[in-house]
Amino acid sequence: MTVTETPSPPAKERGSDFAKLSRRIAQEGLLDRRPGYYAVRIGLVAAFFAGTWAVFAAVGDSWWQLPVAVLLAVAFAQVTLLAHDLAHGQIFRSRRTSRTAGLIVGNLAVGLSYGWWMDKHTRHHANPNHEDHDPDVAPDVLIWSQKQAEASRGLPRFIGRYQAFLFFPLLTLEGINLKVSSFRALRRKTLKNRGTEGLLLSAHVLAYLGVVFLVLPLPKALLFLAVHQACYGIYLGCTFAPNHKGMPVLTAEDELDFLRRQVLTSRNVRGGHVVNTALGGLNYQIEHHLFPSMPSANLRRAQPIVRDYCASLGVDYVECGLLESWGQALRHLHEAGRPLRAVKT
């Protein structure tokens, strides 16, 4: 999900390289809302989500529910990507409207805390790939740099040796991890609307489990849940990992302006309309990080402007295919764990 409240560049940068690019983008109308596009997209995603549950009910007590579980994982991921656009303010001008829709789409539909995600993702956008400030590269389970590897303890140190090989298996747990993290966030007094968030998250879990166990006997129900959550986690991981993993990891010693901080830590993914639909527009990650409130449908149009502008400044602009992006991410993970493999146990 991403974010309405992503900080703008500091005031001192208004005459900066980014300010010049921003004026060009605004003149092209690429920051304007796209209500027609989002009306169609929301309708299609809602129909896909509801239709998949209808197929689940129609199939009933059958092992054919396992392919339905995979299909439902895709539906959940597409809803999550829509929630991402809501959180960035790409759909509605009003923050209140975005938040209300985000709570329904995030908390109720897929069981992901909208408020927790917004806080986490805002910090990521402000300092992408920064060891000290980006929660997405914090050494929680995986480690993202050799410096983190040398300081690691416990589970990250154990996993870090061969984390590149464990990455995809670990992604099967990401869907569950997001739900657990969402409920844990309810304990934070800083989380706004905790009562509403908790009520909607609980309603999702009760409805989700209730429907599955009502239709399927226990063994099939448990297997359905496992397949669904595993595929959902893999889908989300394969959507977000190509964007930054394998790109430079920044530290306190790196002093970059807004434009370079966003461009140099991000990677675009080629692939045409199929990849664009599957990744919800996040394949244009560089443009998204520079202009997080830009409707995802406009990112493709912004790309040649941003790419040519970066070339004129001599700023590296990285783009590659989907498989290569995963390869770069895995190679980075393997290299980050190298100090741990050198330690004799």
Query: Which span out of 133-142, 217-226, 271-280 was modeled with the highest average pLDDT?
Result: 217-226
Residue pair 133/144 in contact (Cβ under 8 Å)? The answer is no
Q: What is the pLDDT of residue 15?
A: 58
Q: How confident is the model at residue 254 (pLDDT cuts 50, 70, 90)?
A: confident
User: CB-based burial of residue 48 (10 Å sphere; 0-12 exposed, 13-18 middle, 19+ buried)?
Assistant: middle
* Least confident window among 103-107, 269-273, 284-288: 269-273
Q: What is the pLDDT of residue 344?
A: 61
Question: Looking at residues 2-31, what average pLDDT do you find?
Answer: 72
Q: Measured between alpha carbons, how far is 71 from 178 in angstroms, rounded to an integer?
A: 19
Question: Looking at residues 171-179, what average pLDDT do you find?
Answer: 95
Number of C-beta neighbours around residue 267 at 10 A: 23
pTM of the full structure: 0.91
Helices and strands of the chain, counted as H and E runs: 17, 2
Question: Looking at residues 201-211, what average pLDDT do you find?
Answer: 98
% of the chain beyond a pLDDT of 90: 81
Q: What is the pLDDT of residue 306?
A: 98
Is residue 2 pLDDT above 80, yes or no?
no
The type of residue at 129 is N
- HSE-CB at 124 with a 13 A cutoff on CA atoms is 24
Q: How confident is the model at residue 343 (pLDDT cuts 50, 70, 90)?
A: confident
Is residue 67 pLDDT above 70, yes or no?
yes
DSSP letter for each residue of 213-260:
HHHS-HHHHHHHHHHHHHHHHHHHHHHHHHHHTTSPPB-TT----HHH
User: In whole numbers, what is the pLDDT of the chain averaged over residues?
Assistant: 92
The token pair that represents 10 in the structure block? 């500091």
User: CB-based burial of residue 170 (10 Å sphere; 0-12 exposed, 13-18 middle, 19+ buried)?
Assistant: middle
Q: Measured between alpha carbons, how far is 127 from 129 in angstroms, rounded to an integer?
A: 6
Residue pair 186/119 in contact (Cβ under 8 Å)? The answer is no
Q: Measured between alpha carbons, how far is 308 from 290 in angstroms, rounded to an integer?
A: 14
